[in-house]
Chains A and B, each alone.
Chain A
Amino acid sequence: MPEIRVTPLGAGQDVGRSCILVSIAGKNVMLDCGMHMGFNDDRRFPDFSYITRNGRLTDFLDCVIISHFHLDHCGALPYFSEMVGYDGPIYMTHPTQAICPILLEDYRKIAVDKKGEANFFTSQMIKDCMKKVVAVHLHQTVQVDDELEIKAYYAGHVLGAAMFQIKVGSESVVYTGDYNMTPDRHLGAAWIDKCRPNLLITESTYATTIRDSKRCRERDFLKKVHEAVERGGKVLIPVFALGRAQELCILLETFWERMNLKAPIYFSTGLTEKANHYYKLFITWTNQKIRKTFVQRNMFEFKHIKAFDRAFADNPGPMVIMPGYCVQGTVGHKILSGQRKLEMEGRQVLEVKMQVEYMSFSAHADAKGIMQLVGQAEPESVLLVHGEAKKMEFLKQKIEQEFRVNCYMPANGETVTLPTSPSIPVGISLGLLKREMAQGLLPDVKKPRLLHGTLIMKDSNFRLVSSEQALKELGLAEHQLRFTCRVHLHDPRKEQETAVRVYSHLKSVLKDHCVQHLPDGSVTVESILIQAAAHSEDPGTKVLLVSWTYQDEELGSYLTSLLKKGLPQASS
Chain B
Amino acid sequence: MDPECSQLLPALCAVLADPRQPVADDTCLEKLLDWFKTITKAGSSLLLLQENPCLVELLCHVLKPQDLSSRVLSFSLRLAGVFAAQEDCFQYLQQGELLPRLFGEPGPLGGAAWTAPSVRSGWIQGLRSLAQHPSALHFLADCGAVDTIFSLQGDSSLFVASAAGQLLVHILGLSMQGLAEGHPSLQAGDWPVCAQKIVGHIEESLHSTAVPQITQALNVLTTTFGHCHDPWTQVLWVRLSPLVGSLLEKDPVPAAHSLVDLLLSVARSPGLSSSSCGLWETLAQTLNHLSPTQAGPLALGILKLQDCPQVLRAQAFVILLQPLACVLKATGQDPGPSGVLDSATGDSLTVDVLLSSKAACVGLLCRTLAHLELLQPLPQRPCPWPQEPLLGAAVTLLQLCRGSASPASDVGRHLCALLLGCVRVQRAALDFLGTLSQGTGPQELVTEVFAVLLEYLRSPDSSPTVLKKAFQATFRWLLSSPKTPGCCDLEPHALLVLRELLPVLQKRLCSPCWEVRDSGLEFLTQMTRHWGGQAGFRHALLASEVPKLTEQLLRDPESYVRASAVTVMGQLSSQGLHVTPVSPEHPGGQQSLLVELLHILSTDSEGFPRRAVMQVFTQWLRDHHADVAGDTEQFMARVLQVASQDLDWEVRAQGLELALVFLEQTLGQFHSHCPYAVTPPVAAPAGSLAQALQPLCRVRLFEFAFRALFDCDRPVAQKSCDLLLFLRAKTASSSGSLEESRSGPDVASVEAALQRWQAGDQGQPLGDLEPEVVLAVLRSVDLEGLRGALAEGSDHMEKSPQSLLQDMLATVGVLGENEADCY
Nearest chain B CB to A467 CB, angstrom units: 27
Residue of chain B at shortest CB distance from A333: B807
B residues in contact with A36, CB < 8 Å: 27
Q: Knowing A329-B799, A414-B156, say if A360 contacts B819 (CB, 8 Å).
A: yes
Give residues 139-157 of B contacting A (CB, 8 Å). 156-157
B810 pairs with A327, CB closer than 8 A = no
One of A127, A269, A339 near B518 (C-beta < 8 A):
A127
A344 pairs with B797, CB closer than 8 A = yes
B822 pairs with A388, CB closer than 8 A = no
Of B272-280, B573-581, B627-635, B788-796, the one touching chain A: B788-796
B367 pairs with A59, CB closer than 8 A = yes
Give residues 306-328 of A contacting B (CB, 8 Å). 310-311, 313, 324-325, 327-328
A residues in contact with B468, CB < 8 Å: 131
Q: Knowing A50-B162, A344-B797, say if A131 contacts B27 (CB, 8 Å).
A: no
A interface footprint on B785-815 (CB within 8 Å = 1, 0 otherwise):
0000101011111110001101110110010
Would you call A305 an interface residue if the criterion is a C-beta within 8 Å of the partner chain's C-beta atoms?
no
Nearest chain A CB to B150 CB, angstrom units: 19
Q: Knowing A325-B821, A343-B797, A346-B789, say if A337 contacts B814 (CB, 8 Å).
A: yes
B interface footprint on A334-378 (CB within 8 Å = 1, 0 otherwise):
101111000111100000000000101010100000000000000
How many angstroms from the CA of A130 to the CA of B607 in the assembled complex?
17
How many angstroms from the CA of A306 to the CA of B762 in the assembled complex?
20
B27 pairs with A113, CB closer than 8 A = no
Would you call B24 an interface residue if the criterion is a C-beta within 8 Å of the partner chain's C-beta atoms?
yes
B25 pairs with A327, CB closer than 8 A = yes
How many angstroms from the CA of A55 to the CA of B70 in the assembled complex?
34
Of A37-45, A471-479, A499-507, A517-525, the one touching chain B: A37-45
One of B70, B370, B647, B760 near A270 (C-beta < 8 A):
B647
How many angstroms from the CA of A315 to the CA of B529 in the assembled complex?
51
How many angstroms from the CA of A39 to the CA of B34 in the assembled complex?
11
Would you call A112 an interface residue if the criterion is a C-beta within 8 Å of the partner chain's C-beta atoms?
yes
Q: Knowing A15-B820, A56-B367, A388-B820, say if A329 contacts B762 (CB, 8 Å).
A: no
A interface footprint on B118-159 (CB within 8 Å = 1, 0 otherwise):
100000000000000000000000000000000000001111
Of B356-364, B401-409, B495-503, B587-595, the one touching chain A: B356-364
A358 pairs with B25, CB closer than 8 A = no
B residues in contact with A114, CB < 8 Å: 713-714, 793-795
Nearest chain A CB to B474 CB, angstrom units: 17
How many angstroms from the CA of A54 to the CA of B257 in the assembled complex?
8
Residue of chain B at shortest CB distance from A41: B34
B515 pairs with A146, CB closer than 8 A = no
Would you call B715 an interface residue if the criterion is a C-beta within 8 Å of the partner chain's C-beta atoms?
yes
Would you call A109 an interface residue if the criterion is a C-beta within 8 Å of the partner chain's C-beta atoms?
yes
B822 pairs with A362, CB closer than 8 A = yes
One of B27, B359, B647 near A328 (C-beta < 8 A):
B27
One of A54, A70, A71, A328 near B25 (C-beta < 8 A):
A328
Interface bracket on A = 35 or more
Nearest chain A CB to B401 CB, angstrom units: 13
Would you call B519 an interface residue if the criterion is a C-beta within 8 Å of the partner chain's C-beta atoms?
yes
B residues in contact with A337, CB < 8 Å: 807, 810-811, 814
B649 pairs with A413, CB closer than 8 A = no
How many angstroms from the CA of A146 to the CA of B421 in the assembled complex?
11
Q: Knowing A331-B798, A334-B807, A339-B810, say if A413 contacts B157 (CB, 8 Å).
A: yes
Nearest chain B CB to A7 CB, angstrom units: 7
Grouping DSSP codes into helix (H, G, I), strand (E, B) and loop, the A interface class, with mixed when no group exceeds half, is: loop
A7 pairs with B158, CB closer than 8 A = yes
A residues in contact with B793, CB < 8 Å: 114-116
Would you call A132 an interface residue if the criterion is a C-beta within 8 Å of the partner chain's C-beta atoms?
yes
B residues in contact with A43, CB < 8 Å: 30
B370 pairs with A415, CB closer than 8 A = no
A residues in contact with B797, CB < 8 Å: 343-345
How many angstroms from the CA of A178 to the CA of B823 in the assembled complex?
9
Would you call B741 an interface residue if the criterion is a C-beta within 8 Å of the partner chain's C-beta atoms?
no
Nearest chain B CB to A263 CB, angstrom units: 23
A131 pairs with B30, CB closer than 8 A = no
A113 pairs with B795, CB closer than 8 A = no
How many angstroms from the CA of A58 to the CA of B159 in the assembled complex?
22
A interface footprint on B497-523 (CB within 8 Å = 1, 0 otherwise):
000000000000000000100110000
Residue of chain A at shortest CB distance from B71: A389
B795 pairs with A325, CB closer than 8 A = no
One of B363, B515, B714, B803 near A59 (C-beta < 8 A):
B363
Give residues 402-449 of B contacting A (CB, 8 Å). 423-424, 427
Would you call B766 an interface residue if the criterion is a C-beta within 8 Å of the partner chain's C-beta atoms?
no
Q: Knowing A59-B366, A131-B468, say if A310 contacts B822 (CB, 8 Å).
A: no
A15 pairs with B810, CB closer than 8 A = no
Residue of chain B at shortest CB distance from A341: B806
Residue of chain A at shortest CB distance from B514: A131
How many angstroms from the CA of A336 to the CA of B819 in the assembled complex?
12
Grouping DSSP codes into helix (H, G, I), strand (E, B) and loop, the B interface class, with mixed when no group exceeds half, is: helix
Would you call B623 an interface residue if the criterion is a C-beta within 8 Å of the partner chain's C-beta atoms?
no
Residue of chain B at shortest CB distance from A56: B370
Nearest chain A CB to B575 CB, angstrom units: 23
Residue of chain B at shortest CB distance from A332: B798
Residue of chain B at shortest CB distance from A362: B821
B residues in contact with A88, CB < 8 Å: 424
How many angstroms from the CA of A378 to the CA of B202 in the assembled complex?
46
Nearest chain A CB to B560 CB, angstrom units: 5
How many angstroms from the CA of A123 to the CA of B156 in the assembled complex?
39
B762 pairs with A115, CB closer than 8 A = no
How many angstroms from the CA of A313 to the CA of B714 in the assembled complex?
20
B822 pairs with A325, CB closer than 8 A = yes
Q: Knowing A334-B807, A414-B157, say if A277 contacts B789 (CB, 8 Å).
A: no
A411 pairs with B117, CB closer than 8 A = yes
One of A89, A274, A336 near B605 (C-beta < 8 A):
A274
How many angstroms from the CA of A58 to the CA of B335 in the assembled complex?
28
B residues in contact with A336, CB < 8 Å: 814, 818
Give residues 57-103 of A contacting B (CB, 8 Å). 58-59, 70-72, 87-89
Nearest chain B CB to A530 CB, angstrom units: 47
How many angstroms from the CA of A295 to the CA of B793 in the assembled complex?
47
How many angstroms from the CA of A328 to the CA of B806 in the assembled complex?
10
Nearest chain B CB to A309 CB, angstrom units: 10
Would you call A294 an interface residue if the criterion is a C-beta within 8 Å of the partner chain's C-beta atoms?
no
How many angstroms from the CA of A415 to the CA of B27 in the assembled complex?
23
A residues in contact with B204, CB < 8 Å: none
Would you call A209 an interface residue if the criterion is a C-beta within 8 Å of the partner chain's C-beta atoms?
yes
Would you call A205 an interface residue if the criterion is a C-beta within 8 Å of the partner chain's C-beta atoms?
yes
Q: Knowing A88-B424, A331-B798, A413-B160, say if A70 contacts B818 (CB, 8 Å).
A: no
A364 pairs with B370, CB closer than 8 A = no
Report which residue of B28, B804, B821 has the largest number of chain A beta carbons within 10 angstroms of its beta carbon.
B821
B715 pairs with A112, CB closer than 8 A = yes
One of B28, B157, B762 near A411 (C-beta < 8 A):
B157
Would you call A105 an interface residue if the criterion is a C-beta within 8 Å of the partner chain's C-beta atoms?
yes
One of B358, B799, B810 near A334 (C-beta < 8 A):
B810
Nearest chain A CB to B334 CB, angstrom units: 30
How many angstroms from the CA of A336 to the CA of B821 in the assembled complex?
12
Beyond A345-B789, A345-B797, 5 additional pairs, beta carbon < 8 A: A132-B465, A329-B795, A334-B806, A411-B116, A414-B158
Q: Which A residues form the contact surface with B (CB < 8 A)?
A: 7, 14-16, 26, 36, 38-40, 43, 47, 50, 54-56, 58-59, 70-72, 87-89, 105, 109, 112-116, 123, 127, 130-132, 145-147, 178, 205, 209, 240, 243, 269-270, 273-274, 277, 310-311, 313, 324-325, 327-331, 333-334, 336-339, 343-346, 358, 360, 362, 364, 386, 388-389, 411-415, 460
Task: Offer 28 A-B interface pairs, CB within 8 angstroms, sorted by A.
Answer: A14-B26, A38-B25, A54-B257, A56-B367, A56-B370, A87-B427, A89-B465, A113-B713, A113-B715, A116-B714, A123-B611, A131-B464, A178-B823, A240-B823, A269-B647, A274-B605, A328-B807, A329-B798, A329-B803, A343-B797, A345-B789, A345-B796, A411-B118, A412-B157, A412-B159, A413-B158, A414-B156, A415-B156
Closest 5 CB pairs of A and B: A38-B27, A413-B159, A325-B821, A337-B810, A114-B794
